[in-house]
């Protein structure tokens, strides 16, 4: 994900191994990936260590460190609900290889319900919640709460100044009890399964977003008011075949060469992006800054934003990034759950999932507030401070009449500049 906001809570879960990463002030839990377990310990004898906010192990229910669905909900689901009730948009998404348990974590099974139904259950204390459920397959949006027979079922994504990003024509349901909520959820999951031609890997090729719009009535200054927040629960496509637009970082990170000239655009926009980053980091440390970027110092001078060079890269966000824009860049909290499998055969995918999540943890990619140079202001203030100082000095020396030379040319700017000064000068003078 190109632009995970700071303050992202990143969680790692698998049917088998769970690791959670939370960015805000929390000691990291370290997760070790031991290449030697691999059987063919050729060149991978290293033990790789990653730090995350939470790690869960849910391979074997008998194991003492086994994490149940309830436990995961208590850590993550509860913080989703807390964020929403504080008025933040919350986005929780699962990332990982097919079969590592994304859908299990997000949806669960009838005997072991996952995060989404649990969140639905707890959130229902709020009477005004609106739900929608959609699927993105091949950059096309499909309404999962609409009968598959109904047409048209390819929807457009748009932005509204007041309501934010939305899908035109997406059905929205108001539900009042848990039973209804679960029914909707099941209906959506059912549609996801049946409508696709690739039945056997329906969930691994498409992203599914279950949204809850959450409205709370509050009293603000004794006036009834409401807080609207949105919870997006996202079940991503399998990471091994995730939409290349979605995790472009990860794909272009490798040195694989794009073979077809059709992908020339990716290469060129990568090039433009790269040089933009390079030219901008001289002034403002925007864009994906690795590590705990506290190097704001580079802009300590008053010439901050003005040397930044901005260009436009005509590269459309993927539908997913577009829809989650408000969750990723706005007033939001984000939780990423990365799921991995302990199987030896998945070693490479596991390593890359962990790397990606650890990398995501450090991605801060927010557009900055551009600032004009305030050289002029600083110069004026310096002059004023000097004047103030000298006046104080002359006053302290009981110099009978401090100079009123500042009044001399009587220009408007001096009058204003010394608006504060004059008052005192006159006072001292008499």
For another protein, which residue of 26, 40, 158, 241 counts as binding (CB under 8 A)?
158
Q: How far is the CB of 321 from another protein (least distance, A)?
A: 12
C-beta closer to another protein: residue 63 or 263: 263
Is the four-CA dihedral 184, 190, 192, 195 of positive or negative sign?
negative
Helix H or strand E encompassing 134: strand 128-137
Q: What's the CA gap between 190 and 82, in Å, rounded?
A: 30
State the binding string over 71-110 for another protein (x if CB under 8 A, else -): ---------------xxxx---------------------
Q: How far is the CB of 59 from another protein (least distance, A)?
A: 27
Q: What's the CA gap between 243 and 393, in Å, rounded?
A: 70
Q: Is 7 annotated as a binding residue?
A: no
Query: Residue 152: is the preceding peptide bond cis (ω within 30°)?
Result: yes
The reply to whether 408 sits near another protein by the rule CB under 8 A is no
- Taking Cα atoms as reference points, which of 79, 172, 57, 173 lies closest to residue 123? 79
CA angle 337, 340, 343 (to 5 degrees): 170
Return phi, psi of residue 126, to 5°. Answer: -95, 120
C-beta closer to another protein: residue 32 or 430: 430
- Taking Cα atoms as reference points, which of 84, 52, 98, 110 lies closest to residue 213? 84
H helix intervals, 340-418: 347-362, 375-396, 412-417
Q: How far is the CB of 65 from another protein (least distance, A)?
A: 34
Q: Is 100 annotated as a binding residue?
A: yes
Cα 365 to Cα 89, 163, 236, 290, 336, distances in angstroms = 18, 23, 21, 10, 16
Piece in contact with another protein (CB under 8 A), picked from 121-129, 188-196, 239-247, 269-277: 269-277
The reply to whether 315 sits near another protein by the rule CB under 8 A is yes
Using CB under 8 A as the binding rule, the residues of this chain from 214 to 233 that contact another protein are 227-229
Q: How many residues make contact with another protein (CB under 8 A)?
A: 98
C-beta closer to another protein: residue 78 or 311: 311
Q: How far is the CB of 387 from another protein (least distance, A)?
A: 10
Q: How far is the CB of 6 from another protein (least distance, A)?
A: 6
Using CB under 8 A as the binding rule, the residues of this chain from 346 to 405 that contact another protein are 364, 366-379, 381-382, 385, 388-389, 392
For another protein, which residue of 219, 223, 261, 397 counts as binding (CB under 8 A)?
261
C-beta closer to another protein: residue 32 or 255: 255
Q: Is 238 annotated as a binding residue?
A: no
For another protein, which residue of 215, 329, 394, 406 counts as binding (CB under 8 A)?
329
SS (H, E, C) 155-168: ECEEEECCCEEEEC
The token duo for 71 is 């436990």
The reply to whether 419 sits near another protein by the rule CB under 8 A is yes
Q: Is 96 annotated as a binding residue?
A: yes
For another protein, which residue of 51, 164, 244, 342 counts as binding (CB under 8 A)?
164
- Taking Cα atoms as reference points, which of 264, 133, 291, 96 lies closest to residue 211? 133
Q: What's the CA gap between 125 and 119, in Å, rounded?
A: 11
Q: Is 279 annotated as a binding residue?
A: no
The reply to whether 415 sits near another protein by the rule CB under 8 A is yes
- Taking Cα atoms as reference points, which of 214, 427, 229, 238 lies closest to residue 346? 238
The token duo for 16 is 């088998």
Q: What's the CA gap between 411 and 417, in Å, rounded?
A: 10
Using CB under 8 A as the binding rule, the residues of this chain from 107 to 146 that contact another protein are none
C-beta closer to another protein: residue 194 or 307: 307
Mark the binding-site residues for ATP, compressed into ranges: 96-103
Residues at the annotated binding site? Answer: 96-103
């Amino acid at each position: 994900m190109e632009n995970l906001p700071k303050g992202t809570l990143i969680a790692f879960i698998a049917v088998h191994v769970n690791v959670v990463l939370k960015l805000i002030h929390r000691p990291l839990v370290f997760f070790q990936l031991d290449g030697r377990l691999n059987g063919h310990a050729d060149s991978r004898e290293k033990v790789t260590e990653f730090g995350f906010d939470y790690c869960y192990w849910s391979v074997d229910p008998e194991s003492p460190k086994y994490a149940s669905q309830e436990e995961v909900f208590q850590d993550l689901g509860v913080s989703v609900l807390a964020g929403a009730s504080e008025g933040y948009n919350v986005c929780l998404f699962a990332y990982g290889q097919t079969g590592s348990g994304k859908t299990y974590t997000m949806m669960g099974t009838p005997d072991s319900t996952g995060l989404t139904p649990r969140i639905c259950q707890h959130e229902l204390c709020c009477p005004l919640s609106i739900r929608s459920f959609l699927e993105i397959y091949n950059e096309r949006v499909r309404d999962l709460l609409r009968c598959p027979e109904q047409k048209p079922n390819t929807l457009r994504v748009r932005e509204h100044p007041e309501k934010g990003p939305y899908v035109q024509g997406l059905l929205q349901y108001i539900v009042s009890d848990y039973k209804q909520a679960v029914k909707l959820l099941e209906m959506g999951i059912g549609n996801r399964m049946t409508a696709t031609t690739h039945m056997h890997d329906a969930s691994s090729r498409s992203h599914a977003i279950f949204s809850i719009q959450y409205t709370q009535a509050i009293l603000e200054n004794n006036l009834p008011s409401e807080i609207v927040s949105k919870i997006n629960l996202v079940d991503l496509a399998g990471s091994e075949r995730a939409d290349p637009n979605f995790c472009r970082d990860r794909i272009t990170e490798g040195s694989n060469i794009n073979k077809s000239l059709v992908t020339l655009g990716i290469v060129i926009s990568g090039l433009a992006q790269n040089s933009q980053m390079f030219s901008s980091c001289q002034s403002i440390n925007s864009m994906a800054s690795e590590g705990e970027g506290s190097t704001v110092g580079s802009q300590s001078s008053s010439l901050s934003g003005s040397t930044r060079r901005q260009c436009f890269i005509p590269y459309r966000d993927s539908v997913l990034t577009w829809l989650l824009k408000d969750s990723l860049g706005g007033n939001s909290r984000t939780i990423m759950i990365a799921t991995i499998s302990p199987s030896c055969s998945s070693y490479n995918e596991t390593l890359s999932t962990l790397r990606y999540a650890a990398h995501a943890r450090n991605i801060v990619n927010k557009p900055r507030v551009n600032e004009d140079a305030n050289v002029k202001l600083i110069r004026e203030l310096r002059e004023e401070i000097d004047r103030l100082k000298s006046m104080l000095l002359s006053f302290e020396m009981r110099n009978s009449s401090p100079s009123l030379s500042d009044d001399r040319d009587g220009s408007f700017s001096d009058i204003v500049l010394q608006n504060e000064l004059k008052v005192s000068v006159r006072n001292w003078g008499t």
